[in-house]
């Protein structure tokens, strides 16, 4: 078995295990019932997505400094995977909110900030489709990626301070405050599983990008020969 | 040859160009006016509601206007490749950005200050009592919009579909400015006006963070 | 043109690569230009002449390799950036000739910018039109304002990208004369040319590029004519 395949299997096993733990091992929450179990999936995805964006940021910095193509491959891979996880967060949010509070979107601070985060990285990917020359594309998207990531704490800060004045249902209700020990254990296990999955997906995407780039180079050489 | 003297010379050129044609200023003012008027059709502008929603709509109008106004920023340097001659002439490429940020902030503020009395009349919101503070928040907010906008306009000038790309990149990035500026402005336009120091400090932090990022990475934005 | 001798400065290209995507516009370009030489860069369209000149002017950053300006004594330090004349004027259409030159003079810390701008306007024959915006200029006048801008800081190295394009015989004669004077004053000149003309006859050396690589150099014994031979295979 190649290392990549092994990692994929491990990731799959961990995710299944954490799903099992979320449903059968964690105790039922008092007020919200079964639907609360989505919390393990929802918050773990958020953390994995954010870690992916952090990887993207570091890759962007390294590209601007070193100009090695592999940092560009890493950047786009991490951004896409991060976006996928963030999309899961934005979908599971309303799924959780609706049965509990009867509304689909609660303008909860973290969820709203996550939405902006999502928009920023959608823009990052959109920018890439609009620049054709590969080195220019890598440089410009790395620079935008750096600006976008620097913006993230400012987005979260502004929304937390000024957009949660009206009482609104807080979805994650203090993720780390007052979590019963078993719940805490299940949560951290879920987060770990999601991170392993994230790393696996980033590596797979990286390989696809690497091969796609090599094909492009070959094609150009053929065209000019 | 120093950064400041280069920036001053460049700023002079930006201002001279604009005041000669006034095309950016006039189109931006008219655009903001249209947006503000159109917004007023979307809700009932009684005084209470105006005070609550007005400032947000005003800042949104400024944001939209800026995302259009900032497009020519680097595009106009492409027709005769003057960006290359500028890069050759200045000792520090950051001077190019400082000058453009300065010019853009100034243009934005001119249009905003001209809009303020019109806004006050249309929405029945008083602006005179807290004018100095309003000018401060207009400055800090416009500076934030300019810094981010100038940097991103250097990026979008090198991509396709640049007219649509700049707003797409800029608007999510400026969310913190929109939120904080609106909050401070709402506070200032309230029946009992208050100065939200947290918001003012936050805007200053945003400005410093992005100016620093522009200083660190600016030359790469211009690279060929 | 200049009333004093310029500090002699040469150019050295070492293994310059410039890649755009998968295509190499320049491949391991290596050669040296001695101070005071007048060099023609020859080659077909797309051979990399413009890219090499833009690398030499330091507008374009090479993907690999180094560019240096060896000089005698402190020539390298004093010469500053090369003067660069391209296809476009690289000045502002909406400003007057005078305003443009004063602007670029101030940016480069030229002493007495206004006087220097006037001096150059006289030299390129645009003094009468100094208060007209560049937008109103003819092709020949645009070329002259571009040259004035490039000379404003008294560079020791001048780079021209196809300077004769669009000029009538009178313009070409004027250009040839100006280049001759500049070279006599000690300026190192590198120009890319399309065809043989009065201008190519000024050259003391020629280097030929093809597909981004150096394929001929008069320094290695080839004749000027063969390097410049555009019509041949």
B contact set with A (CB within 8 A): 148, 151-152, 155, 158-161, 165, 168-169, 172-173, 175-176, 179-180, 183, 198-199, 202, 205-206, 209-210, 213, 217, 220-221, 223
pLDDT confidence tier of residue C80, bands split at 50, 70 and 90 = low
Residue C2: its pLDDT value, please?
46
Distance CA C106, CA C113 (A): 6
**pLDDT at C230 (0 to 100):** 56
C75 versus A178: the higher-pLDDT residue is A178
Out of C154, C173, C203, a domain closes at C154
**Is residue C190 located within the same domain as residue C120?**
no
Q: What is the mean pLDDT of residues C77-88?
A: 78
One domain for residues C70 and C172: yes
Radius of gyration of chain A measured on its C-alpha atoms = 20
Same domain, C142 and C175: no
Task: Give this complex's ipTM.
Answer: 0.93
- Using the beta-carbon criterion (under 8 Å), do C88 and B81 form an inter-chain contact? yes
Residue numbers of the domain that contains C129: 90-154
Q: Where are the alpha helices (H) located in chain B, listed in sequence order?
A: 3-21, 23-40, 47-69, 72-75, 82-89, 94-123, 131-156, 162-173, 175-189, 197-222
Residue C79 CB coordination number (10 Å): 24
In this predicted structure, the answer to whether residue C197 has a pLDDT above a threshold of 80 is: no
Report the C-alpha gap between C226 and C229 in whole angstroms.
Answer: 5
Q: What are the beta bridge partners of residue C66?
A: C14
d(CA C18, CA C48): 9
Check whether residue C42 and residue C65 sit in a common domain.
Answer: yes
Residues C142, C214: one domain? no
Q: Which of A64, A65, A131, A135 to mutate to test the interface with C (most CBs of C within 10 A)?
A: A135
Q: Based on the domain organization, do C78 and C184 belong to the same domain?
A: yes
C128/A35: higher pLDDT: C128
Same domain, C76 and C12: yes
Asked whether residue C22 falls in the same domain as residue C106, the answer is no
Verify that C134 and C24 share a domain, yes or no. Answer: no
Q: Reduced to 3 DSSP states, what percent helix, strand and coil does chain C have, rounded to the nearest 5?
A: 35, 25, 40
CA B103/CA B134 separation, integer angstroms: 20
Find the CB nearest B224 among C61, C107, C109. Answer: C61
Residue C196: what pLDDT?
73
User: Could you give the number of structural domains in chain C?
Assistant: 2
- Asked if C8 and C69 sit in the same domain, the reply is yes
Provide CB contacts within 8 A for C148, sequence distance 6+: C97, C101, C120, C121, C123, C124, C126
Rounded to an integer, the average pLDDT of A20-33 is: 79
Show which of C104, C137, C154 is a domain's final residue: C154
Specify the pLDDT at position A94. Answer: 87
Q: What value does the mean pLDDT of chain C take?
A: 87
Average pLDDT over residues A182-196: 90
Residue pLDDT, tens place only, C145-191: 999 999 999 898 999 999 888 788 888 888 899 899 999 988 999 99
> b/e for C126-159, b at 16 or more Cβ within 10 A?
beebbeebbeebeebbbbbbbbbbbbbbbbbbbb
List CB contacts (< 8 A) between B223 and chain C. Answer: 61
Mapping DSSP onto H, E and C, the string for B82-100 reads HHHHHHHHCCCCHHHHHHH
Q: Phi/psi of residue C188, each to 5°?
A: -85, 125
Structure tokens that stand for C178 in this block: 């100006």
Does B221 sit within 8 Å of A143, measured CB to CB?
yes
- Assess whether C147 and C56 both reside in one domain: no
Distance in angstroms (rounded) separating the CA atoms of residues B162 and A214: 28
Are the C-beta atoms of residues C213 and C203 closer than 8 Å to each other? Answer: no
Q: What is the mean pLDDT of residues B1-5?
A: 84
* pLDDT single digits (tens) C2-59: 445 667 888 999 999 998 877 889 999 999 999 889 999 998 888 999 999 999 999 9
User: What average pLDDT does range B88-95 have in this prediction?
Assistant: 93
**Among the three residues C154, C178, C205, which one is the final residue of a domain in this structure?**
C154
A109 lies within 8 A of chain B by CB: no
Beta strand C11-20 with C83-85: parallel, antiparallel or unpaired?
unpaired
Contact C90 B20 (CB under 8 A): no
**Do C232 and C176 fall into the same domain?**
yes
Q: What is the pTM of this model?
A: 0.92
Report the gap between the CA of A220 and the closest CA in chain C (Å): 6
pLDDT at B54 over 90: no
- The CATH number of the domain holding residue C16 is 3.40.50.300
């Amino acid at each position: 078995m190649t290392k990549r395949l092994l990692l994929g299997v491990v990731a799959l096993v961990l995710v299944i295990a954490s799903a099992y733990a979320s449903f059968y091992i964690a105790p039922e929450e008092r007020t919200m019932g079964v639907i609360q179990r989505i919390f393990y999936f929802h918050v773990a995805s958020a953390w994995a997505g954010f870690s992916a964006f952090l990887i993207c940021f570091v890759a962007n910095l390294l590209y601007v400094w070193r100009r090695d193509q592999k940092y560009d491959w890493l950047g786009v891979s991490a951004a896409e995977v991060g976006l996928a996880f963030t999309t899961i967060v934005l979908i599971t949010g309303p799924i959780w909110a609706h049965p509990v509070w009867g509304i689909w979107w609660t303008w909860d601070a973290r969820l709203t900030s996550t939405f902006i985060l999502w928009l920023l990285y959608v823009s990052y990917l959109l920018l890439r489709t609009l620049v054709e020359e590969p080195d220019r594309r890598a440089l410009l998207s790395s620079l935008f990626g750096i600006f976008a990531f620097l913006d993230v704490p400012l987005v979260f800060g502004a929304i937390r301070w000024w957009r949660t004045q009206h009482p609104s249902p807080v979805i994650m209700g203090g993720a780390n405050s007052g979590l019963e020990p078993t719940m805490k254990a299940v949560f951290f296990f879920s987060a770990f599983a999601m991170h392993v999955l994230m790393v696996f997906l980033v590596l797979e995407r990286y390989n696809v990008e690497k091969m796609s780039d090599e094909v492009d180079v070959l094609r150009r050489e053929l065209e000019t020969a | 040859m120093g950064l400041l003297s280069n920036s001053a010379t460049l700023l002079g050129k930006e201002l001279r160009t604009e005041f000669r044609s006034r095309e950016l200023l006039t189109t931006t003012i008219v655009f903001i006016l249209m947006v503000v008027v159109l917004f007023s059709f979307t809700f009932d502008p009684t005084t209470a509601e105006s005070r609550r929603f007005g400032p947000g709509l005003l800042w949104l109008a400024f944001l939209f206007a800026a995302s259009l106004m900032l497009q020519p920023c680097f595009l106009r340097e492409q027709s005769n490749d003057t960006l290359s001659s500028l890069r050759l002439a200045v000792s520090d490429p950051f001077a190019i950005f400082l000058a453009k940020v300065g010019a853009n902030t100034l243009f934005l503020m001119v249009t905003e200050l001209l809009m303020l009395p019109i806004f006050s009349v249309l929405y029945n919101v008083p602006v005179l009592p807290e004018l100095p503070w309003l000018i401060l928040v207009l400055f800090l907010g416009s500076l934030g919009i300019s810094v981010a906008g100038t940097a991103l306009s250097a990026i979008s000038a090198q991509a396709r579909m640049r007219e649509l790309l700049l707003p797409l990149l800029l608007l999510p990035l400026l969310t913190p400015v929109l939120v904080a500026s609106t909050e401070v402005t709402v506070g200032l336009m309230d029946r009992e006006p208050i100065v939200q120091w947290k918001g003012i400090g936050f805007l200053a932090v945003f400005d410093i963070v992005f100016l620093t990022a522009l200083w660190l990475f600016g030359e790469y934005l211009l690279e060929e | 043109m200049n009333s004093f001798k310029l500090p002699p400065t040469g150019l050295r290209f070492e293994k310059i690569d410039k890649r755009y995507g998968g295509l190499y516009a320049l491949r391991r370009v290596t050669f040296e230009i001695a101070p005071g030489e007048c060099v023609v860069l020859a080659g077909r369209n797309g051979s990399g002449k413009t890219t090499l000149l833009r690398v030499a002017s330091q507008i374009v950053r090479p993907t690999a390799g180094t560019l240096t300006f060896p000089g005698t004594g402190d020539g390298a330090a004093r010469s500053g950036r090369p003067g660069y004349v391209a296809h476009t004027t690289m000045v502002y259409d909406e400003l007057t000739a005078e305003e443009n030159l004063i602007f670029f003079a101030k940016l480069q810390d030229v002493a007495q910018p206004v006087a220097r701008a006037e001096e150059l306007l006289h030299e390129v024959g645009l003094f009468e039109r100094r208060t007209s915006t560049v937008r109103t200029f003819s092709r020949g006048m645009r070329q002259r304002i571009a040259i004035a801008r490039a000379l404003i800081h008294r560079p020791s190295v001048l780079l021209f990208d196809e300077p004769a394009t669009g000029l009538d015989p009178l313009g070409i004669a004027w250009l040839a004369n100006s280049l001759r004077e500049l070279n006599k004053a000690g300026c190192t000149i590198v120009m890319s040319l399309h065809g043989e003309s009065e201008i190519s006859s000024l050259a003391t050396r020629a280097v030929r590029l093809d597909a981004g690589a150096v394929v001929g150099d008069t320094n290695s014994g080839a004749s000027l004519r063969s390097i410049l031979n555009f019509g041949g295979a």
